[in-house]
Amino acid sequence: MSVTTPVPPPDFTPTPTVRARRGHATLDTRHAGWFTRITIAVVVLLWLIPTLGVLVTSLRPVHLVETTGWWTALAHPFRGASWTLQNYRDALDTGGFQNAFLNSLAVTVPATVIPVTLAAFAAYAFSWMEFRGRQFLFVLVVGLLVVPLQMALIPISRLYIDGASIGSFRFIPDFNLNGTFLGIWLAHTGFGLPLAVYLLRNYIGSLPSSIIESAKIDGADDFTIFWRLVVPLSVPALAAFTIFQFLWVWNDLLVAYVFLGGTSSTRVLTIALANLVGQHGENWQLLTSAAFISMTLPLVVFFSLQRYFVRGLTAGSVKG
Amino acid sequence: MTDDDAELAPAEQVPENAPEAATVPAEVRSPWTIVVRVVAAIAIPVAGYLSLSWAFGFLREGTANRLLIVLVAIALGVGGVFFAFWAMDRVVDWLPDRWRDTVRPYVFVGPALVILSVFLVYPVINTIIMSFKDAQAKDFVGLDNYRFVFTDASMLRSIRNTAMWIVFVPLVSVTVGLVFATLADRLRHGEAVAKSLIFLPMAISFVGAAITWRLVYSYRPAGFGSNIGLLNGIKVGAFGGDPIAWLSQQQWNFNNLLLMVIMVWMQTGFAMVVLSSAIKAIPSEIVEAARIDGASELQVFWRIVVPTIMPTIVVVTTYMVINAMKVFDIVFVMGNAESNHTEVIAERMIRWFFIQSNDGRGAAIAVVLFVAVIPVMIWNVRQFRQQEMTR
């Protein structure tokens, strides 16, 4: 997302943040007792243990993984023989994971950017432009939030293969999009759009109208207002949805399975991983290292963008 | 497969044209204006779409280096969408003055609406029609598929199990998320770290989560190697006796519960993060006033915090309910759903569509799922209307 030369931020701070700061400062005066701290520690530990098991297992040699539980390794953490990186090498070689990683990237980046862009333009129009059917169309979009995407898979893959026609007139040709990146981008775009439009409309609609009105008076057209004013101001919401969509597409198995298939040249990480589960049902050292490889990028994306997450996601729905 | 084209076509036509028909403003006089507007609003996105797909066909023919293909694909996908919007906006600038302002909003919303019509509205209509047809989606069979859905033992179990998912997962996730958010709010240090660690499973794929939890629930019968699963380690270590095949324990739906735990583990972080921000937005004066009046912390929580953030609780719960309704990956990847009696509706649907290749039955299951979601949809739209009125 290129935010081109953001205008100097006008005198505008989103109100929820201000409230949060103020509220938080005073709540803080009641600090946590032992009960609170212990409860939090226990819950965090419970949540962390399964992932820890994967990490530890992925770093142990095969013969130890097969004979003892992963927790026994923690008893002797500094014994060199109980740790190895070999599993990661094996997983990268056997699973064809390099290829799958590239494919995941080629699917995920456009399948995130396209819906964010389409939704941002639509959200701007729904918030700040006058046109017939505005309310109705927006309600329709929100309603589509709850269509289970599983329902769409078969009709769309048929549309990709056969096109659609009335009698002999073919108004949608058979683009033969099955197995192409474009096909899966568009599918993910369709499935992600309702949530994207809903979230972004909430945020963009809550920007102060004075800024947009004054820009209009200064003679800026809608495209300029959108690009130079609304996009820079909406970075939290855009980032929040970007994280959401990125995690969803990167972690998706079903849509990739239907539209890209499981062949070795086009398959994405989740499919390679699922295949590994099928082939080597009990090869824990391979499975765990492969699972960790697939987690790395989402974790990096999440932790680098997470400060935007809450702010962007809840703006508009929080009433003070 | 092509036989039903004629059948599908009218269905396709409706959502495509409906938004455009609504767009024509009342003050338009000449029919030409209408034609130009409609043509512009449809032709421009279609042209963009065609050129993009042409470029892609070109790319597909190539047998270049994989990394190169991937880079070109990313550049094409990302650049394409930006260029399309910019180009469309320029085209609108060339239109006569009085048309510009009427056409431009549709340039902004048009692409989203076209994609939504093709990828969500059309499939819904198509699936409903397909659910009345046979396995090859050729001949109409009346209500046979629905009869199957509501009589087959495995289907009935899947409906019962999904009902349990809908209740258990949102209830536990939201409760744990709310309590954790409330408690973490009082931490002076480490609140962000604690919250990130709870949120972490959200970044893991369902397949990754399934591997993670298979390692917890792992069981090997005697003679098939040692048991390395965490749960069996705890069980044998603490209570002695033999390891247990956890995922086959059908008594009291214990194995179903173990699968639901996986989803709770994955989703609680989301509930917690959103609820936490709502808690922080409560005006501190209210909480302080209650404390001065001598309210205990528990009373503050039940009488002030919970009622104030109720709208957020409801939204998060709804989101969780919809997600639990659509759950598929966890059950599918953990395997042996039928013999373990852990089937869920979405998992049945995928099985009938893709593994048994019975389009009619798969579609009927999908429609049942969709109908079950409709009350949530109505509620959703009502919420939106209310929000609009109070804004």
CB A275 within 8 A of CB A285: no
Residues on chain A touching B86 (C-beta within 8 angstroms)? 223
The number of beta carbons lying within 10 Å of the beta carbon of residue B16 is 19
More confident residue, B112 or A167: B112
**Is A24 within 8 Å of B116 when comparing Cβ atoms?**
no
- Residue A165's DSSP bridge partners are A170
Residue B343 pLDDT greater than 60, yes or no: yes
Give the pLDDT score at A179: 66
Between positions 264 and 303 of A, the ones with CB within 8 A of B are 269-270, 273-274, 277, 282, 284, 287-288, 291, 294-295, 298-299, 301-303
* Residue A186 forms contact with B (CB below 8 Å): yes
Q: Count contacts between A and B (CB, < 8 Å).
A: 404
* Residue B105 forms contact with A (CB below 8 Å): yes
Collect all residues with Cβ–Cβ distance below 8 Å to B297 and sequence separation of at least 6.
A30
Angle in degrees, CA B88, B92, B95, rounded to 5: 150
Collect all residues with Cβ–Cβ distance below 8 Å to B391 and sequence separation of at least 6.
A205
Mean model confidence pLDDT for chain B:
77
φ, ψ at A85 (rounded to 5°)? -105, 0
**Is A254 within 8 Å of B284 when comparing Cβ atoms?**
no
φ, ψ at A163 (rounded to 5°)? 70, -165
State the Cα–Cα distance between residues A218 and A221, nearest whole angstrom.
Answer: 9
**Is A147 within 8 Å of B186 when comparing Cβ atoms?**
no
Collect all residues with Cβ–Cβ distance below 8 Å to A213 and sequence separation of at least 6.
none
Q: How far is CA A114 from the centre of its chain?
A: 13
State the Cα–Cα distance between residues B281 and B300, nearest whole angstrom.
Answer: 15
Residues on chain B touching A27 (C-beta within 8 angstroms)? 185-186, 280, 284, 287
The nearest alpha carbon in chain A to B80 belongs to A114
Residue A30 pLDDT greater than 60, yes or no: no
The model's confidence at residue B194, banded by pLDDT at 50, 70 and 90, is confident
Residues on chain B touching A251 (C-beta within 8 angstroms)? 203-208
Q: A184: which 2 tokens?
A: 């899966």
- 3-class SS letters over chain B: CHHHHHHHHHHHHHHHHHHHHHHCCCCCCCHHHHHHHHHHHHHHHHHHHHHHHHHHHHHHHCCCCHHHHHHHHHHHHHHHHHHHHHHHHHHHHHCCHHHHHHHHHHHHHHHHHHHHHHHHHHHHHHHHHHCCECCCCCCECCCHHHHHHCCCHHHHHHHHHHHHHHHHHHHHHHHHHHHHHHHHCCCCCCHHHHHHHHHHHHHCCHHHHHHHHHHHHCCCCCCCCCCCCHHHHHHHHHHCCCCCCHHHCCHHHHHHHHHHHHHHHHHHHHHHHHHHHHHHCCCHHHHHHHHHCCCCHHHHHHHHHHHHCHHHHHHHHHHHHHHHHCCCHHHHHHCCHHHHCCCCHHHHHHHHHHHCCCHHHHHHHHHHHHHHHHHHHHHHHHHHHHHHHHC
Residue B364 pLDDT greater than 80, yes or no: yes
Between positions 229 and 268 of B, the ones with CB within 8 A of A are 229-230, 233, 265, 268
* Residue A124 forms contact with B (CB below 8 Å): yes
CA distances from B288 to A134, B12, B116, B184 (A): 43, 58, 47, 18
Residues on chain A touching B73 (C-beta within 8 angstroms)? 106, 110, 181
**Is B201 within 8 Å of A51 when comparing Cβ atoms?**
yes
CA distances from A97 to A300, B168, B181, B246, B308 (A): 18, 36, 38, 31, 48
- Smallest Cβ–Cβ distance between A36 and the set B66, B186, B268 belongs to B186
**Is B211 within 8 Å of A291 when comparing Cβ atoms?**
yes
Q: In this predicted model, what pLDDT tens digit does every residue of B277-294 receive, in sequence order?
A: 778 778 888 888 888 888
The DSSP string of A118-187 is HHHHHHHHHHH---TTHHHHHHHHHHGGGS-THHHHHHHHHHHHH-EEETTEEEE-----TTSHHHHHHH
* Residue A105 forms contact with B (CB below 8 Å): yes
**Is B274 within 8 Å of A320 when comparing Cβ atoms?**
no
Residue B172 pLDDT greater than 90, yes or no: yes
> In this structure, which amino acid lies at residue A310?
V
Task: Give percent above pLDDT 90 in chain B.
Answer: 6
Q: By mean pLDDT, which of A69-73, A282-286, B347-351, B379-383 is the weakest?
A: B379-383
State the Cα–Cα distance between residues A242 and A261, nearest whole angstrom.
Answer: 25
The model's confidence at residue A8, banded by pLDDT at 50, 70 and 90, is very low
Q: In this predicted model, what pLDDT tens digit does every residue of B300-342 receive, in sequence order?
A: 888 888 888 877 787 788 778 888 888 887 888 777 777 778 8
CB A294 within 8 A of CB A273: yes
- Smallest Cβ–Cβ distance between B381 and the set A142, A182, A284 belongs to A142
Closest by Cα among A43, A8, A19, A116 to A314:
A19
Closest by Cα among A292, A297, A299 to B203:
A299
- Smallest Cβ–Cβ distance between B203 and the set A20, A144, A302 belongs to A302
> In this structure, which amino acid lies at residue B22?
A
State the Cα–Cα distance between residues B20 and B22, nearest whole angstrom.
Answer: 5
Q: A196: which 2 tokens?
A: 């994207």
**Is A159 within 8 Å of B207 when comparing Cβ atoms?**
no
Q: A156: which 2 tokens?
A: 């769309």
Q: Averaged over B150-170, what is the pLDDT?
A: 90
Give the pLDDT score at B384: 61
Mean model confidence pLDDT for chain A:
74
* Residue B74 forms contact with A (CB below 8 Å): yes
**Is A132 within 8 Å of B24 when comparing Cβ atoms?**
yes
Q: In this predicted model, what pLDDT tens digit does every residue of A171-211 receive, in sequence order?
A: 555 556 666 777 788 888 888 888 888 878 877 877 777 88
* Residue B27 forms contact with A (CB below 8 Å): no
Q: Averaged over A283-297, what is the pLDDT?
A: 80
- Smallest Cβ–Cβ distance between B74 and the set A20, A109, A190 belongs to A109
> In this structure, which amino acid lies at residue B77?
G
Q: In this predicted model, what pLDDT tens digit does every residue of A69-117 receive, in sequence order?
A: 777 777 777 777 778 787 788 777 776 777 788 888 888 888 888 898 8
Q: B281: which 2 tokens?
A: 């937005």
State the Cα–Cα distance between residues A62 and A282, nearest whole angstrom.
Answer: 11
Collect all residues with Cβ–Cβ distance below 8 Å to A87 and sequence separation of at least 6.
A58, A59, A60, A62, A285, A286, A288, A289
Q: In this predicted model, what pLDDT tens digit does every residue of A231-261 receive, in sequence order?
A: 888 887 788 788 888 888 888 888 888 887 7
Residue B254 pLDDT greater than 50, yes or no: yes
Interface test mutation site (partner B, options A15, A70, A150, max chain B beta carbons within 10 A): A150
CB A196 within 8 A of CB A115: yes
The model's confidence at residue A169, banded by pLDDT at 50, 70 and 90, is low
Could you give the count of Cα atoms lying within 13 Å of B320 in the half-sphere of its Cβ?
31
Q: B213: which 2 tokens?
A: 């939890």
More confident residue, A99 or A316: A99
Give the pLDDT score at B265: 93
Residues on chain B touching A122 (C-beta within 8 angstroms)? 108-109, 111-113
Residue B242 pLDDT greater than 90, yes or no: no
Residues on chain B touching A32 (C-beta within 8 angstroms)? 183, 186-188
Residue B153 pLDDT greater than 50, yes or no: yes
How close A171 gets to chain B, by Cα (Å)? 9
**Is A150 within 8 Å of B19 when comparing Cβ atoms?**
no
* Residue A261 forms contact with B (CB below 8 Å): no
Q: In this predicted model, what pLDDT tens digit does every residue of B39-98 receive, in sequence order?
A: 766 776 677 667 666 666 655 554 456 677 777 777 777 787 787 777 777 777 777 777
Q: B116: which 2 tokens?
A: 């939504």
φ, ψ at A166 (rounded to 5°)? -105, 115
Give the pLDDT score at B3: 43
Give the pLDDT score at A61: 81
Collect all residues with Cβ–Cβ distance below 8 Å to B330 and sequence separation of at least 6.
B206, B209, B210, B259, B262, B263
